[in-house]
Structures are given as structure tokens and as C-alpha cells.
Amino acid sequence: MKKFEVDQNGYYGRFGGAYVPEMLFANVEELRIRYLDILNDSSFQNEFHALLKHYVGRPTPLYFAGRISDKYNTRIYLKREDLNHTGAHKINNTIGQILLAGRLGKNKIVAETGAGQHGVATATVCALTGLECTVYMGKLDMERQKPNVERMKMLGARVVPALSGNQTLKDATNEAMRHWINNPEDTHYIIGSVVGPHPYPDMVARFQSVISEEIKTQLFEQENRENPDYVIACVGGGSNAAGAFFHYLECEEVMLIAVEAAGKGITTGQSAATIALGAEGVLHGSKSIIMQTDDGQIVEPYSISAGLDYPGIGPLLAHLSEKERVKFTHVTDKEALRAALELAQLEGIIPALESAHALAILSELNLKKSDVVVINLSGRGDKDMETYIRFINNEK
């Protein structure tokens, strides 16, 4: 067994597992028993990679960013997940899971979404395959993220408002789970990050691992070495980071850095830096590090970037932090905004606000001229233009 692989019971060290209500046990168990055989089957792999190539547009470029390299006096490569169909890495996972749903004989899909990015990626693959799609979204989030609601509807999905609690992601997740409990025979639940009960974290990490698989090949072509000195990724639930780190976990000489959203600052109470602020607990079906009050209530997270605004982190990432294989750090809204503007003006690339968090730590690293740094550019910034325009106007 590889060093950071999930164990028989779905644990990474003390994190992971499958904490699900009795009523969900059969669904999760079916998935646990079958997922590896399905994923490892060559016809599945062929179909998955063909869709990644011809539909998603993979491999995404590994781009040597010359002007930003000059600025930081090092060698910086950007893994361009922003160039995927639908504009981020999330589609890698939904393509994998929609094919899996077909192999499991399911013809309906349910998903939860916060900002709507995972909902759009799910609605996209449902349209692609003709499966019926229901997406739960907090009522408040539906009001805040209208364009994504419209996109999902145009793609043929049914978007159902979650009316309980704070009417955000946590409530949408609860309702999606309830929907799955009530429709176990014909429905597959597509989770959008490396979170949830086993086997979801492992399954999603495997689908996203195509990112580091490509980096290895592409870096060898350009630098004559497969391993960079650094790989840097932002972390919400942890799926783009897990994908960018996956094939480097055993290569101890590669420094892996995960960047969380500090929001307005980690001492302000308006933050989403789970590793910095959280403690062990159970959320969405697995044991991990989560942001909670002393009596175990989930703390409502905050980040300017909707994709990082999550009160937990996947169990693999929690384990990698504890074992000090991945170094965790965090940057504020302001720092991320500045980094986005810098990338736009030095390279002509407008990143997603999430990805801008990964860029923002460049100035804090002690980089050498000969270092090779790979930054996972998880998504593009079109969806964040309103926020960027407001920032630019305030800076003037």
C-alpha cells in the first residue's frame, strides 16, 4: 500500500470513514464495494480519457509564465485548469462520476451546490449523457449566484431551493442526502470535492489525479525533469489540490503547499481557513478537521471566493497536514485580489478568485532562481468579474 492511500475502512490515519445515517448505508456500501473495479476497468478508463480529451479539452497546457517568473526571480509554471470546458477542474470529477453512475445502472443524478460551480459541472455532464439532474442549492445562495442558477436550468437541470437552516451549502447537502435516501434504486449522488463518506474522497482524488499525471509528463518535456521543487494549490474542500499533489505524494523532495482562504483575517471571525482554525469533528459523512464552536456547532465560513467558502476540508488533506507532507498556509481576500490583478497584467490571464489565493503566496516563499514552481490554476475568472471591478475601482 502506498503511504498516503486510504485504508480498508476508508481512513487516512485518524481521518475519513463513513458516518452516514442507517438509511444511506446501502447506497454508500454499494459504491464502496464496486468503485475500484469500475474505475480500474480498461473500458471505463478509455471512455473517461476520451471524454477528457475530446469534450473537456485535456491535456490542459502547462504554461511557463515568463513575466511572473521574472518578477519573483524563479521559474513558474501554471497548470491551466482554467482552460477546461466549463472553466475549472470540477468537470474532471463530474465526468468520472457520470460514467460511474452509468456502470452502476443509475439513470438519475442528485447533487448539492454552494456557489453553483459544482452544480453547473454536474448539469453539464447530465446533459452530455441524458441523465436526469436535480441540484439542491440554498435559497440564499440561489439569490447570490443567479447566473449559475440560470446556467443549470438552461442545461436542463431541476434546481431545488434548500429552505432550512441558513439556506446555504450545508443545508443543500442535507437535502441532497435526503433525496438520495428516498431514491436509492435509480439515483447516484455526485459530490463535488474530496469530502463526504468513504469512498467519495478517494474516488474524487483519483478522478482529479489526471492533473498531476499530466504535470509530470509536461514538465519532463519542458524541463527534462518530472518533479518540480514546489506544487501550490488553493483549498476549499481540497479536490484541485488533491489532484495536483496526487502523483507527488511519495516524492518527498517536492514541496507541496496548500493555500486556504483567510477571508478578512483568521482572527476576525470571518474566515474559511479550516486547518488554521478548525478541530476534529464529523461533517458531511467523514471525520476530518472542521470549523466549529466549542460545543460542536458548525461555524459559518467566510471568503470572498465562493469556492473556498467551506467549513471543512477533505480527510486526505487533513491527514497530509497532520503528517506534515503538505504545508498549509492562508491568504486574505485582499491579498488574493491583488494577486489576481497581477496575473492579469503580467500574463494576460484572469484567474478565478480561488486560484488567486495560490498565486498570492509567491511573495512569501524563499524561492531560488533555479527553482521550478508549479501553480495549479484551478479556474478562470469570468465569474468573478463583478468582484474584480469593484476592487479595481476602490483601489484607484
Ligand X SMILES: *Cc1c(COP(=O)(O)O)cnc(C)c1O
Say if CB 203 and CB 194 are below 8 A apart.
Answer: no
Say if CB 18 and CB 6 are below 8 A apart.
Answer: no
Choosing from 193, 212, 321, 329, the residue that interacts with ligand X (CB under 6 A) is 193
Choosing from 113, 145, 218, 239, the residue that interacts with ligand X (CB under 6 A) is 239
Residues 228, 244: Cα–Cα separation, whole Å:
12
Interior/surface letters 92-109, b for 16+ CB within 10 angstroms, e for the rest: bbbbbbbbbbbbbebebb
Say if CB 245 and CB 317 are below 8 A apart.
Answer: no
Residues 200, 216: Cα–Cα separation, whole Å:
25
Stretch (H or E) spanning 301: none
The C-alpha cell at 175 is 437535502
Q: For the segment 9-68, give every residue that binds ligand X (CB under 6 A).
A: none
Does position 275 interact with ligand X (CB under 6 A)? The reply is no
Least separation in angstroms between CB 115 and ligand X: 7
Q: For the segment 62-91, give every residue that binds ligand X (CB under 6 A).
A: 88, 90
- The residue type at 40: N
The smaller minimum CB distance to ligand X, of residues 93 and 187, is found at 93
Least separation in angstroms between CB 124 and ligand X: 13
Does position 145 interact with ligand X (CB under 6 A)? The reply is no
The smaller minimum CB distance to ligand X, of residues 59 and 243, is found at 243
Least separation in angstroms between CB 248 and ligand X: 16
Does position 236 interact with ligand X (CB under 6 A)? The reply is yes
Q: Which residues are catalytic?
A: 90, 112, 378
Does position 240 interact with ligand X (CB under 6 A)? The reply is yes
Does position 378 interact with ligand X (CB under 6 A)? The reply is yes
Beta-carbon neighbour count of residue 7 at 10 Å? 12
The smaller minimum CB distance to ligand X, of residues 17 and 114, is found at 114
Does position 329 interact with ligand X (CB under 6 A)? The reply is no
The smaller minimum CB distance to ligand X, of residues 92 and 187, is found at 92
The smaller minimum CB distance to ligand X, of residues 74 and 97, is found at 97
Does position 113 interact with ligand X (CB under 6 A)? The reply is no
Say if CB 352 and CB 381 are below 8 A apart.
Answer: yes
N residues, the chain: 396
The C-alpha cell at 333 is 481576500
Say if CB 121 and CB 204 are below 8 A apart.
Answer: no
The smaller minimum CB distance to ligand X, of residues 134 and 303, is found at 303
Least separation in angstroms between CB 91 and ligand X: 10
Query: Environment class of residue 12 by beta-carbon count within 10 Å: exposed (0-12), middle (13-18) or buried (19+)?
Result: buried
**Judged by CB under 6 A, how many residues of this single chain contact ligand X?**
19
Which residues of this chain interact with ligand X, rule CB under 6 A? 88, 90, 117, 193, 234-241, 307-308, 352, 354-355, 378-379
